[in-house]
Amino acid sequence: MAIDRSLVSIEPKSFDEYAKAVLSAGAKVAPLSSQVGALIWTDYSKPQALKELLEANSQIEWVQLPFAGVDAFVDVLQQPVVFTSAKGSYRQPVAEHALALCLALGRKLPERVVAKTWGKKFAVSLYDSHIVIVGGGGITQELVSLLAPFNTRVSVIRKHPAPIAGATETVGFDRLDEFLALADFVVLAAALTSETLYLFDERRFSLMKPSAYLVNIARGKMVDSAALLKALDSGVIAGAAVDVTDPEPLPDGHALWNAPNLIITPHTADTNAQVVRLFSQRIDENVKAWLQGKDWVGLVDKQLGY
């Protein structure tokens, strides 16, 4: 039986906004059957369940994944299916969070919030600073635009060094070490792949200036937690802010909770409400692409892993 391209399934759980997005794009939400060739997958934590579903439903031709990062779905991506991700969807709130963390570090806000004495004057300004951003996707593009008023030098490190509007320079990963030595702030905004797994280890921290700060809004496993703790304890870097950790959630009592000048936010760069709203927009875009044969938004490159 041929598939009905007007039918789209949403698994394993849906929200009214997702169903409305499918309907607004001109399709119908339907239970999974042999007639359904399009699937909206909504649970990042269940890649094995998706793999088993695809193995049992060979008629599925397209799967929309819920987040920008698809590292959890490495094994699933081997299926002969078109995968699209939400890369670029959450760029605004995540870039905003990265900027907020940079500002908070530079002004020592965590320390001042709990202070009960006047203390010493301290400030590291974003104005005229050098920001190195690792990764060249939508979050980076948005963050570059947010940094424009600060007259910063923005160096983007990405796998394919195509220019990014507003960046001072865009270079390949082979020049990461060179630029780490120049940075006042290093922001991690890349996909987690075999190349970026524990990209920041003890050696990389040693290349940074003692006055430099690290901000991670990408994936926890891009940073060696033990190396980060050592770098903070010994003053190798001035401080760090992380919205993602390894392990995650970070257990109560973990040594990082007591690390000096470390801000930890619980993966809240984008909230559930923001994710539902923005993912609904991506569903609308790609259901239309599915129905009309147009270009996908957020097409996953299976070789690159993002």
Q: Which of these, 175, 168, 172, 169, lies nearest to 152 by C-alpha position?
A: 168
Domain covering 91-264: architecture: 3-Layer(aba) Sandwich (3.40)
Superfamily of chain region 7-89+272-292: NAD(P)-binding Rossmann-like Domain (3.40.50.720)
Mean confidence (pLDDT) of the chain:
96
H or E, element range at 256: none
Q: What percent of the chain is helix, strand and coil (3-state, nearest 5)?
A: 35, 15, 50
User: What is residue 205's predicted lDDT score, i.e. its pLDDT?
Assistant: 98
Mean pLDDT of 222-238: 98
In this prediction the pTM is: 0.94
Counting DSSP H helices and E strands in the chain, the numbers are 9, 12
What is the spatial distance between Cα 110 and Cα 88, in angstroms, rounded to a whole number? 30
Tens digits of residue pLDDT in 68-87? 999 999 999 999 999 999 99
Q: Where in the chain is the domain with CATH 3.40.50.720?
A: 7-89+272-292, 91-264
What is the spatial distance between Cα 296 and Cα 287, in angstroms, rounded to a whole number? 9
- Catalytic residue IDs: 219, 248, 267
Tens digits of residue pLDDT in 111-124? 999 999 999 999 99
Is the peptide bond prior to 12 cis by the omega test (within 30 degrees of 0)? yes
Tens digits of residue pLDDT in 242-280? 999 999 999 999 999 999 999 999 999 999 899 999 999
